[in-house]
A and B are shown apart, each in its own frame.
Chain A
Amino acid sequence: MKPAPFEYHVPDSLEQALALLKEHGGDAKLLAGGQSLVPAMNFRVVQPGVLIDLNRVSELAYVRQDGENLRIGAMTRERTLEIDPLVAKQSPLLEEAMPHVAHPQIRNRGTLGGSLANADPAAELPVIMLALGARLKARNVSGERWMEAHDFFSGMFTTALAPDEILVEIELPPDLPHTGWSFMEVAPRAGDYALMGVAAQVTLDENGRCRQARLVYLNAGDGPVDAKEAAKILGGEMPNDDVIEAMAELVSRKEINPFGNIHASSDFQRHLAGVLTRKALKQAIERAGEDGLQ
């Protein structure tokens, strides 16, 4: 469990990092928190010729309010997302999900950018990004571009990032008024990747009807799974048990595509998706209602 030989660079600035990445291209890997990359290197599953360590690129670690949006640098540690008051205020869903991401020791090192770029279908953060409608900014030596979270995740451990691009920033929009949230998952032990998990955001109108809903699942397909059809059922409706039941059914039977593994069969994963959908929706609707509805 020792990595294969590699060349190591530790740039001080984003410019230097981008230049190194352009120079070494596909043979290089960016090192963020190392919590996914280093084990993979020790198992020799990944053998990059060049490692570009981003840990001294301090300009990439920040949480900043910018008008009504929140901007988070890619090198922001997972632990920061868990405890930063700006995050809690802007996106209680993100704050609620964070304790489920690995263990505190790992969150102290692991980064938001690393988790998103890693694009593990069982990871929490990609799911949260979709649920919140986040936008992601990538840079290369010649410029920058913005992507919707939807377009960023392109499959199992793959993203829309080009080999010369670094994910630099994540932008979180504010929740609409009367928005409730819920994050729930079932993991074998605390800190494990979950067998199934769901992020729910529900926005009600003044009359308590659903204005918009979003349900995104982890470990339910080859990336974060946005259950759009189920969410549509709730649109315009007064939330009630029948609607919720219909949504849970649709999600667990149709909209997700869990693969099953040694810890959970796909049947059990579907069953859990149903259980979690019911609970999470109820909680999100209740929280939406607490926000000053008549």
Chain B
Amino acid sequence: MATRYFGERIKRNEDPRLLTGQGLYVDDVDLPNMLHAAFVRSPYAHAKINSIDVSQALQREGVAAIYTANDLGDYWKPGPLLVSPPPVKDIVFNEKTQVPLAKDKVKFAGEPIVMVLAESRYIAEDALADIRIDYEPLEAVVDLEKAIQPDSTLIHEEIGSNIAAHVVQTKGDYDAAKKDAALVIKRRFSYEHGCAAAIENRGIVAEWDSRAGRLTVWDTTQAPVVIRNGLANMLGLSERQVRVIAPFIGGGFGPKIMMFYQEEVLVPWVAMKLNRPVKWIEDRAENFVATTHERGQIHDAEIALDKDGRILGVHDVFLHDTGAYAPYGLTVALNSQANVLGLYDIQNYYSEFTAVFTNKTIVTPYRGAGRQHGVFVIERLLDLAAKELKIDRAEIRRRNFIQPDQFPYNNEIIYQDFAPLVYDSGNYEPLLDETLERIGYHKFVNETQPKLRAEGKHVGIGIVAYVEGTGIGPYEGAKVQVMSSGRVSVVTGVGTQGQGHFTSFAQIVAEQLSVDVNMIDVVTGDTDQFYWGAGTFASRGAVVAGNAINEAAKVVRKKILKLASEHFNAPEDELELADGMVKVQDLPRMSISLGELAGKANPMRGAVKPGTEPGLEATSYFGPERGATASGIHAMIVEVNPETLQIHIQKYLVVHDCGKVINPLILDGQIHGGVAQGIGNAFYERLAYDENGQLLNGTFMDYHLPTSLDVPRIETGHGVTLSPLNPMGVKGAGEAGAIPVGPLFAQALEDALHDVDFEILEIPLNSNRLWELVSGK
């Protein structure tokens, strides 16, 4: 029996490099003669620019060049729309994408206006202070509801309103269903802005080699191939002249898939223009305003149920904050719309949203990408219904689960990938049962909690459920190649930001070729190594790139067997792959290493026969027809101090199903990180804007991330229903940890503070907000 690699808890291949400081990050790229860029960013959320005077700054020693919008000439144009509007009937969509440098008007605080290039970042920052800009402040559009009033100040005057989009999607007939309802619950829910706060900020280094006619760009992007294509197009180069490298990246989480950031457009251009390498590394102060945000929705939602708690229908009308521009189309809002349906059999659904421009940082997907808001709405509605109908909260969920025989389950509305929202597979009850069992739900509710309450302790439990649409198209590709050393090379176009691709991708190949995982070298994110691809987003790396790798590895395996069969003059079915060797069964001396075999596949004499290729390599592509749906349950026990409203999480459990698991260790890491971000999003992190559109907490002193003391030990459990949509049967898991934490907090905190009559209808919370809610302020 050959050693198994797929599905094993294998330690990460990349860690020795990363932990000994050998990983290359963008800021490690240090080139001779390099210039450093810094940007004047608008201090106002909304203002006219009357004039810009850079003359004094140009005098400063060490300043090489300064550019305003007007200096960019034809190169100045709005960025591309990344995701076009979905094919939904009667959709309204007003396209507005960011510009490289603000020209006549600034639309959010932090928007770049002037680019300075100097011999060092210090000098560049000194020069920023020399630049004089005459602003005429305008009223800032901050509040979502006021923004859509007819008398509101306009951000993009040419549209005639602040409406970015309006979308209605329906399934069945909610109004008709509501007529038979035993209970209708209606509430307003809100979900405020937060940011991804990756440990590494963004950064770009660009170098133009004028002799070779080649541009090399190191970029903290999640989508190097798409950046390569776009840059070639913008700069008038062929794709083969541009190489984009996304090296090791300290966290992506979505904002690094945004394309094209202003700096991404400008830095390569100016490197060519000045014929000098240019570096821009975003600092944390910039990151808070210049890197995209997420969240920011208000839902007016209604649920209709029968007397047994079965959902008859859901009605939801919501406002979605896109910030000042909407380059990412409607992905976030579409995800919210889809996720209100959760893992429940809901036959009647009316969903309407208005995406609204505001004078805030641009909103694009961040881990969860709108799913959080939808899950919050449906899970809270179910909690409220359970209370009214006196049904246990786990039970009301169970009664509404889509049953295993209902898959594929069609939700009829259009999803973020523009395909109808069809769940491919799932089996939810076993997940719930395992959760209840492992968190000790019944014992806690019936025995422990009453005892604790009698002692005056405020300890609550929460149980919530979610689905995660993952692994959408269009496609990814990979090349697998046996090298003459016997090592195996795997290259793919996706970027990697800490997900463990160097290990999980290697495991897929190891399994097919029976080669040890640490004999496999994975390269991601270098467009010279692999030409085609889309990027790392929507929890799709393992599903889409993973399956492409698997397919390529299968072809290589065939080639190995064919060549070895010729070599040994033995039939293929008598050959066996193990430990990097091909052996003839029962003939121990008849064996050859894969390296040697690779040499034979590249003959220096004779001829490569027609119809065959040299080498033991293959390139394959994979594009699923639609996304694979993962699912899960989160549960938590939390203690609240009723006087200070400080919390302490005693237990946290995630039981989920992402299909076949490639590496449980890496999967746990994904879940843990997601939960940590979810906890931050639920209780600590909130981007606080004032009425002038100023961010009030743009530092880690005031934007509170949960620390190691605030994130508890997280237990995990796995159910497995294979996805029928890909040969490996995998589903994504990148966002699973982060999605349902908001409603989990709401439910568990209400439960803990059982002696107060209050409802939590908003996220994020903190001790102060909780105190206001319990004391009716």
- Seen from chain A, the residues whose Cβ lies within 8 Å of a Cβ on chain B are 1-5, 43-44, 186, 188-193, 195, 262-265, 267-268, 271-272, 275
Contacts and interface: CB of A to CB of B under 8 A. Distances in A.
B391 interface: no
Nearest to B708: A190
A192 B646 CA distance: 14
Interface stretch (B121-129, B396-404, B515-523): B121-129
B697 A262 contact: yes
A188 B772 contact: no
Contacts of B772: 265, 268
Nearest to A271: B771
B704 A192 contact: yes
10 contacts: A1-B284, A186-B646, A189-B704, A189-B710, A192-B704, A193-B701, A195-B767, A268-B767, A272-B644, A275-B643
Contact of B706 (A44, A189, A263): A189
The 9 closest A-B pairs by CB, nearest first: A1-B283, A275-B643, A262-B688, A264-B768, A2-B122, A268-B768, A186-B644, A2-B125, A190-B709
Given A192-B704, A271-B775, 10 more contacts: A3-B122, A188-B766, A189-B707, A189-B710, A190-B709, A264-B767, A267-B777, A268-B771, A268-B772, A275-B643
Most chain A CB neighbours (cut-off 10 Å) among B644, B702, B777: B644
Given A2-B121, A2-B125, A267-B777, A189 B768 contact: no
Most chain B CB neighbours (cut-off 10 Å) among A44, A188, A193, A267: A188
B644 A4 contact: no
A226 B125 CA distance: 43
B234 interface: no
The bracket for how many chain B residues form the interface is 20 to 34
B520 to A, nearest CB: 38
Interface in B179-207: none
B466 interface: no
B319 to A, nearest CB: 23
A83 B766 CA distance: 33
B285 interface: yes
A275 B284 CA distance: 36
Contacts of B704: 188-189, 192, 263
Contacts of B608: none
Nearest to A103: B707
Contacts of A264: 767-768
A2 B646 CA distance: 36
A188 B696 contact: no
A188 B767 CA distance: 8
B397 to A, nearest CB: 32
Interface string B745-777: 000000000000000000000111001100101
A191 B709 CA distance: 10
Interface of B: 121-122, 125-126, 129, 283-285, 643-644, 646, 684, 688, 696-697, 701-702, 704, 706-707, 709-710, 766-768, 771-772, 775, 777
Contacts of A188: 684, 704, 766-767
A203 B684 CA distance: 39
Contacts of A3: 122
B256 to A, nearest CB: 20
B168 to A, nearest CB: 36
A1 B706 CA distance: 24
Given A189-B709, A189-B710, A275-B643, A263 B768 contact: yes
Contacts of A4: 125-126, 129
A147 B772 CA distance: 42
A265 B285 CA distance: 25
A265 B768 contact: yes
A186 B126 contact: no
Contacts of B696: 262
B263 to A, nearest CB: 16
Contacts of A271: 771, 775
A116 B767 CA distance: 29
A275 B645 CA distance: 11
A186 B767 contact: yes
Nearest to B642: A275
Contacts of A2: 121-122, 125
A3 B125 CA distance: 9
Most chain B CB neighbours (cut-off 10 Å) among A264, A267, A268: A268
A262 B696 CA distance: 8
A263 B126 contact: no
Given A189-B709, A275-B643, A1 B768 contact: no
Nearest to B283: A1
A190 B706 CA distance: 10
Contacts of B129: 4, 44
Contacts of A192: 704
Contact of B707 (A43, A190, A263, A268): A190
Contacts of B709: 189-190
A188 B706 CA distance: 10
Contacts of A268: 767-768, 771-772
A89 to B, nearest CB: 29
B285 A43 contact: yes
Contacts of B646: 186
